[in-house]
Amino acid sequence: MNNLVSLPRVALGLMFAATCGATLAATPEEKIASAMSAAPPSVSATATIMDWPAEEGADMTELRKGDNGWTCLPDMPATSGNDPMCLDATWMAWAHAWMNKLPLTNTSMGFGYMLQGGTPESNTDPYATEPTDSNEWISETLPHLMILVPDNAMLEDLPTDHTNGGPWVMWKDTPYVHIMAPMPAYQP
């Protein structure tokens, strides 16, 4: 799976539901620049750039064809944070599973960049939409690299505390578990 165009035309999950029906005011050039700001130029310069669907049931639009196996997406206009992202093929499969609440087994390492930060979210519940007493809400998301591993047992001894100043495991004990590694902010 190289891009999200192949996702079924169903509700795209919580992350994307906020963008459905949103008015997208940015020009294609602004969206491409936003998407490219998610990762280092060595990744984003030749990545495929996709745009979020303008309405529920619509497919994503390819803004620029790439050739390096990465897919970058601009900031989601209906979310509170600046959250463009660049994902490799393993992360694209992960996103498909997560958005459609499907089981997931990673068979290889996967990497995703969000060097502009993101939108507040739960550290423990992949589908939480607001803070609760038990979901370890992350109110400030910093620029980060996301890492998937082929064997979740590799994550057992890693911290889950997002305030530890270094990498941590997010969404532990769910099919969507991954490592969040803080990175320096990227200024295009």
Segment 138-174, tens digit of pLDDT: 988 899 999 999 999 999 999 999 999 999 999 999 9
pLDDT score of 186 more than 50: yes
pLDDT score of 6 more than 70: no
Structure-token pair, residue 63? 């803004």
- The overall average pLDDT reported for the chain is 86
Is pTM, for the whole model, over 0.75?
Answer: yes
**3-class SS of residue 182:** strand
Name residues whose C-beta falls within 8 Å of residue 171's C-beta, 6 or more positions apart in sequence. 123, 124, 125, 126, 177, 178
**3-class SS of residue 114:** strand
pLDDT score of 24 more than 60: no
Edge-first strand listing for the sheet containing 110-114: 61-64, 48-51, 71-73, 85-87, 110-114, 144-148, 178-182, 168-170
pLDDT score of 101 more than 70: yes
Local confidence band at 76 (pLDDT 50, 70, 90 cut-offs): confident
Query: Region 121-129: what's the mean pLDDT?
Result: 95
